[in-house]
Amino acid sequence: MRLPKFRRGSWRVTLPMATVAAVYMLCVFLPRQRYADELREELRSKQQFFTQAASLGSVVDETRQQIDQADAYVRTWRGRAGRSGELADLFGRLNQLAQQAGAEVDRFDPLESTAMESLSQTSVEWEVAGTLRQLLDVTAGVDALPQLLWIDELHLRSPEQPGGPMTCAARLVVFDDNSQLSD
């Protein structure tokens, strides 16, 4: 039996081989290629996640350090801030400062307190008369008090008559711990 002789470039061979190659590409190669690409992308994203997670250790440590610093500041502040019941003692110390400096308290008016979430604020209008040295001593004494307070306004007036006392009118703002939370 004699085999048929195929010529080069015969469509009887090329067409079935091209069909088999196309079916292989469409049904086997391309789906597996897509699946392999999806696996590579998943692997890349997981590698990136682990790379980022490794660098988070230093960020977590830095954040813990900042929290510790903030806690220390709050503890210091609460140690310096008075309690609402301690205002009378502070007011007594303010008047005592003026007396120790040799100045005279002309006016002392505590104003209404303003309560906030974790602190309260009480303003005091205070007027003291004396020499410039006495008034400076009183102001330095107020600044040296351990409580948290601001000198919100300060007005120095010259003596009404020559050789008379100067007047210092101040608005002080006292901050008290108003927190009901306990550490």
Tens-level pLDDT at each residue, the chain (183 residues): 566 665 566 777 778 888 888 888 888 888 888 888 999 999 999 888 888 877 777 888 888 999 899 888 777 766 655 555 677 787 888 888 889 989 998 988 888 877 777 777 888 898 999 988 998 898 888 888 877 778 888 888 888 888 788 898 988 888 776 655 444
**Alpha helices for the chain (secondary structure H):** 11-24, 30-80, 87-101, 132-144
> Which one-letter DSSP state was computed for residue 3?
P
pLDDT at 183: 42
Q: Where are the beta strands (DSSP E) in 98-165?
A: 104-115, 119-130, 149-157
Enter the tokens of residue 46. Answer: 């997981």
pLDDT at 127: 92
pTM: 0.51
CA distance linking residue 85 with residue 122, whole number of Å: 12
